[in-house]
């Protein structure tokens, strides 16, 4: 049975805004016409509108404005890379600090969650039945938006807890588990049924779902960490599991003394931060290219350096060194940058004779996630390994739709993008259900 891990060292970075601080911040907003922050937010929340309501102490109205555009406003207020999105577009950047949009959004959302106020209501039942597979941000957003419109939605989730990566994968200092689960509850209160421990392809088959539901939405995310293909790989800690064990686990995470993290994306930074905060003496990120090619956001790289995390660039792992079943180090090849490869980034090639050992007692592999395997199982058309969809999110199987990370063949995978997919897919499904002649199944 999963239990939450509470580590003080991983408590939420930001305290909630006080009323005085929230009012002061809200009054700094210029309430721009055609505000650039709204365009930069993938869910296009009426940001000046919700901030204005905070300024006039109408927190319920403010939360309503946020939830009108984004049902997972509490999660997004914490996990969105605001520097790259809404706050990055704030006109005050040129003269002053941008408005703390994320923290104001959290202030309004916390107000309603702390008081258990039900802001969103479901419309009267339409009798239409839809199955959603996967309860991450994409699935929850889609299910909630459909329920809002009166449709009966059942979510099937293979894991013990719902919430997808918001529950299992986000570092606690950004979002506590309780926030993710409170949002799940809010979606359930809209009438959405969530069945956990049910895996499509194992416990239930697509054909059965097609019999029972008019439409099926796949929001299954991505897979496990891929293989590096080096000897001793079985001794590496999986990065996704590392984050998971720091927040939800039956047994707590044991952190090594000298931890190496392989990878250079945001997950690698999260794993390194967890190791550093939970007591490792030394944490080093190992990456085969340089800081310029890292996929982590620049602000995350700066954050990691401030945490005291070290970086070893131009180092490609070639073997995990193990003695008496205990990891003792990582053998690496010294690399140099070459001509740009197909991705446009400089290629890397080994420096002859440039092998070296980095001592370590724990090595974490955080090199991304595998493409969705369900695409192959269901024989769906793919695009670059991701599930291919048309502009209405329909896959190559009529009546089967896909959203979220499993279709994100281009652009940055993020929670807010998954939420927007869920919302847009719900709009498309609702239009089909209410404008076309029903298939007759369950209507
Ligand atoms: C370690 C990590 C940290 C991240 N940090 C951030 C961050 O700080 N900010 C940010 O914006 N984004 C972050 N992201 C990205 C963000 O979490 C994802 O983009 C987002 O969760 C995608 O939502 P989703 O619903 O598509 O997929 P997921 O959240 O992956 O949810 C998919 C769900 O489907 C379930 N499922 C899969 N297959 C089946 C099946 N066959 N049957 C039933 N259920 C199934 C899974 O168990 C899971 O619950 C992070 C990602 C990772 C890996
Ligand atoms: S959802 Fe994210 S990007 Fe949009 S306004 Fe809120 S914090 Fe900014």
- pLDDT one-digit tens code per residue, 173-232: 999 999 999 999 999 999 999 999 999 999 999 999 999 999 999 999 999 999 999 999
- The pLDDT of residue 441 is above 60: no
Which ligand 1 atom sits closest to the C-alpha of 415?
Answer: 11
Amino acid 442: pLDDT = 39
Amino acid 256: pLDDT = 97
The mean pLDDT of 396-420, rounded to a whole number, is 93
Task: Give the number of the ligand closest to the Cα of residue 412.
Answer: 1
The pair of structure tokens assigned to 62 is: 């403010």
Q: Ligand 2 in contact with 76 (CB < 6 A)?
A: yes
Which ligand 2 atom sits closest to the C-alpha of 80?
Answer: 2
From atom 8 of ligand 2, which residue's Cα is the shortest distance away?
A: 86
Amino acid 238: pLDDT = 96
For residue 342, name the pLDDT band (cuts at 50, 70, 90). confident
Of the listed ranges 9-13, 26-30, 95-99, 233-237, the one predicted with least confidence: 9-13
Distance 134 CA to ligand 1 centre (A): 9
With pLDDT > 90 as the criterion, what percentage of the chain qualifies?
89
Surface-to-core class of residue 92, CB atoms within 10 Å of its CB (0-12 exposed, 13-18 middle, 19+ buried): middle
Surface-to-core class of residue 225, CB atoms within 10 Å of its CB (0-12 exposed, 13-18 middle, 19+ buried): buried
Amino acid 185: pLDDT = 97
Q: Ligand 2 in contact with 416 (CB < 6 A)?
A: yes
Query: What pTM was computed for the model?
Result: 0.95
Distance 74 CA to ligand 2 centre (A): 10
Taking the C-alpha atoms of 53, 57, 61 and 66 in order, what is their torsion angle to the nearest 10 degrees?
Answer: 60
- pLDDT one-digit tens code per residue, 387-403: 999 999 999 999 999 99
The dihedral through the CA atoms of 37, 40, 41, 45 has a sign that is: positive
């Amino acid at each position: 049975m999963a239990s939450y891990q509470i580590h003080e060292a991983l408590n939420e970075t930001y305290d909630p805004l006080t009323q005085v601080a929230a009012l002061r911040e809200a009054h700094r907003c210029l309430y721009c016409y055609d505000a650039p922050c709204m365009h930069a937010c993938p869910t296009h929340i009426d940001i000046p509108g919700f901030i204005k309501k905070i300024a006039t102490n109408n927190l319920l109205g403010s939360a309503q404005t946020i939830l009108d555009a984004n049902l997972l406003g509490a999660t997004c207020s914490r996990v969105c890379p605001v520097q790259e999105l809404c706050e990055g577009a704030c006109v005050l950047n040129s003269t002053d600090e941008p408005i703390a949009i994320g923290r104001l959004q959290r202030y309004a959302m916390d107000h309603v969650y702390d008081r258990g106020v039900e802001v969103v209501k479901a419309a009267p039942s339409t009798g239409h039945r839809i199955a959603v597979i996967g309860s991450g941000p994409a699935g929850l957003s889609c299910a909630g938006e459909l329920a809002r419109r009166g449709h009966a939605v059942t979510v099937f989730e293979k894991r013990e807890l719902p919430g997808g990566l918001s529950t299992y994968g986000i570092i606690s200092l950004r979002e506590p588990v309780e926030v993710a689960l409170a949002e799940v509850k809010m979606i359930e209160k809209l009438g959405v049924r969530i069945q956990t421990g049910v895996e499509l392809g194992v416990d239930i088959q697509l054909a059965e779902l097609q019999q029972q539901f008019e439409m099926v939405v796949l929001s299954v995310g991505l897979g496990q960490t891929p293989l590096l293909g080096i000897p001793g790989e079985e001794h590496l800690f999986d990065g996704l599991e590392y984050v998971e064990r720091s927040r939800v686990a039956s047994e707590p995470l044991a952190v090594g003394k000298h931890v190496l993290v392989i990878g250079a994306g945001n997950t690698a930074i999260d794993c390194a931060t967890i190791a550093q905060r939970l007591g490792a003496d030394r944490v080093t990120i190992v990456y085969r290219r340089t800081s310029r090619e890292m996929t982590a956001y620049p602000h995350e790289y700066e954050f990691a350096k401030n945490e005291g995390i070290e970086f070893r660039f131009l180092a490609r792992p070639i073997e995990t060194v193990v003695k008496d079943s205990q990891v003792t180090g990582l053998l690496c090849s010294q690399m140099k940058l070459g001509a740009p490869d197909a991705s446009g980034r400089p290629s890397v090639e080994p420096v002859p004779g440039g092998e070296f050992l980095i001592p370590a007692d724990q090595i974490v592999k955080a090199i991304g996630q595998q493409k969705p395997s369900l695409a192959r199982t269901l024989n769906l058309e793919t695009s670059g390994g991701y599930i291919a969809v048309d502009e209405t999110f329909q896959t190559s199987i009529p009546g089967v739709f896909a959203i979220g990370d499993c279709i994100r063949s281009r652009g940055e995978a993020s929670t807010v993008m998954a939420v927007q997919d869920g919302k847009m897919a719900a709009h498309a499904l609702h239009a089909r259900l209410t404008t076309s002649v029903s298939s007759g199944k369950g209507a």
